[in-house]
A and B are shown apart, each in its own frame.
Chain A
Amino acid sequence: MLDDFMVRAALAGAGVAIAAAPLGCFVVWRRMAYFGDATAHAAILGVAMSLAFSMSIFIGSMTVALMMALTVSVLSGRGYAMDTLLGVLAHSALAFGLVAVSFITGVRIDLMAYLFGDILAVTQGDLAVIWAGAAIVVALIGWRWSALLTATLNEDLAYASGIDPKREQLVLTFALAITVAVAIKVVGVLLIAAMLIIPAAAGRPLSRTPEGMAVAAGTIGIFSVIAGLRAAYEFDTPAGPSIVCVAALTFLLTSVFRNVRA
């Protein structure tokens, strides 16, 4: 079954959707959308470095994404507004990454594959990495769920319950870096933030509890992957963007549903 590239693609997409669902909820609740984007953009520099030092793309992009996220965490609140800081760091990292890639000779690189992903070329090895990464992210967030939720609601409430909001922020940062690294192959660095945010936002009108929203986001994410792949096959469109298009249409649908109900 795993011999079929469409099945591998669907499984890879589902893995990313499952990791992105709970994480994406926190990204939405904490208004970290741009933070996710910035981390993802930085990952292209990681890709360049992986190719230059011939290490695994997963490790390279995860390391740079993590460094990026930590840098932003440390620098925030030191004179620059968060979005300025993210804008500077994210786009510098992306630009340096693109320049660095051009220096690498001898390796033929399909840059588009990293910018937009190449879900149809997922190997069994990629699948193992994606599902292992997704399992780590889900386990990590599941383990810290209540603490993360409390810290998201109010930092002082968290402190009063003996929770350190800064540590919880670090957990999210780490989970984000892993998710970016595993999602590069599937949707590419430019659309990772879409996989985080759109299913979560689309799940919002359907849910009454935080847990419900995470489940809704996961379901919508998996549905988008399957329907998007199907559409890409049918209409010969690029797979990653097709997945995001389906997610966006779902968002539209649930938003209308909310407004009709309200």
Chain B
Amino acid sequence: MSLVDVEGLSVRYGARTVLSNVSLRIERGEIVTIVGPNGSGKTSMLRAIIGAVKPYRGRVTQGRDVTIGYVPQKLHIDETLPITVSRFLKLPSGATALDIEHALAQAGVPDLVNAQLSQLSGGQFQRVLLARALIKKPDLLLLDEATQGLDQRGSASFYQQIESVRQETGCAVLMISHELHVVMSASDRVICLNGHVCCEGTPAVVASAPEYRALFGTGTGGALALYRHEHDHGHDHTHGHTHDHGDHTHDCSEGSD
């Protein structure tokens, strides 16, 4: 059984449809990236998976005993709220000191246990959020633009961390990103979203798809080529999902609203 099974999902905010008839599945251990222009419903997709928005149509099914760790897009900590990293990692249901130490080490920030959350740098904060998501030993990690506000080196090293976490724990990863070239290189599968699934497949397949090119141009092809040889093999199981996206390819470059 898949970790998460999204079937025919439509999401509306008032009269505005942000997602229509989207289906996707996440299998154990794979890294899937959702790319798409602003307003394409990427965040709504993740919010539907964690239950923060109710589907207008369709459904989201979680596999049995599947634990999801969620790393939000941004988190503003009010200056008036004093909270240490270790207290934050204990929310809401508690964690042992050992769990906290381990999760922070996995996220690459072992020394921050007693730091105040409001005094962390952007990169440290994202890693603490990652640690919090890891503390429940998730089967699936959801990341929403986790490297927003980090410089290129910071985000590259963040994604390396994700990759090493995946190798260490075997958890699947579903992430959203703007930084196509960085993210796509690390992904097993890429889903190009624009209110609906435009195209999906391995990074190489998506990058050369006309629907993707229509949205993003060809600029990211070069960066992708660097990684192509190491990612072109071994992940054949991810090709197995057939989605009928043929119907949608023509309105890909138009917004859904």
Using CB atoms and an 8 Å cutoff, list the residues of chain A in contact with chain B: 28-29, 31, 146-147, 149-150, 152-163, 201, 204, 207-210, 212-213
Decide if the interface of chain A is mainly helix, strand, loop or mixed: helix
Task: Determine which residue in B51, B72, B88, B92 has the highest number of CB atoms from chain A within 10 A of its CB, and name it.
Answer: B92
Report yes or no: A160 in contact with B80, Cβ–Cβ below 8 A: no
Contact check, A149 vs B47: say whether CB atoms are below 8 A apart: no
- Hey, which bits of chain B sit against chain A, CB under 8 A? 47, 50-52, 68-70, 72, 75, 77-78, 80-84, 87-88, 91-94, 116, 142
Q: Are A29 and B70 in contact (CB under 8 A)?
A: no
In the complex, the answer to whether A207 meets B82 with C-beta atoms within 8 Å is: yes
A209 to B92, CA, bound (A): 14
CB pair B83 A210 closer than 8 Å:
yes
Q: Does A29 contact B81, Cβ atoms closer than 8 Å? A: yes
A204 touches B75 (CB 8 A): no
25 contacts between A and B (CB under 8 A): A31-B78, A146-B91, A147-B92, A150-B92, A153-B75, A153-B83, A153-B88, A154-B72, A156-B47, A156-B52, A156-B72, A159-B47, A160-B51, A160-B70, A161-B91, A162-B51, A201-B80, A207-B82, A208-B84, A208-B116, A209-B87, A210-B81, A210-B82, A210-B87, A213-B81
Closest to B114 in A: A208
Q: Are B91 and A150 in contact (CB under 8 A)?
A: yes
Please judge, given known A-B contacts A146-B92, A153-B75, whether A159 and B83 are in contact too, CB under 8 Å: no
Most chain-A Cβ atoms within 10 A of its Cβ — which of B83, B87, B88? B83
Using A209-B82, A209-B84, A210-B81 as known contacts, list a sample of 8 further A-B pairs with CB atoms less than 8 Å apart, ordered by residue number in A.
A28-B80, A29-B81, A156-B70, A161-B92, A204-B80, A204-B82, A208-B84, A210-B83
CB atoms of A212 and B82 under 8 A apart: yes
Q: Is the CB of B75 within 8 A of A154?
A: yes
Given contacts A154-B75, A160-B50, contact A149 B82 (CB under 8 A): no
In the bound complex, residues from chain A placing their C-beta under 8 Å from that of B51 are 159-160, 162
Q: Which of chain A's residues has its CB closest to B46's CB? A: A156
- Chain B nearest CB: distance from A85 CB in Å? 19
Complex alpha-carbon distance, A156 and B73, angstroms: 9
Q: Which residues of B contact A157 (CB under 8 A)?
A: 70, 72, 75
| Closest Cβ neighbor of A200 among chain B residues | B80
Residues of B within 8 A of A153 (CB): 75, 77, 81, 83, 88, 91
Q: Which residues does chain B contribute within 8 Å of A156, judged by CB atoms?
A: 47, 50, 52, 70, 72
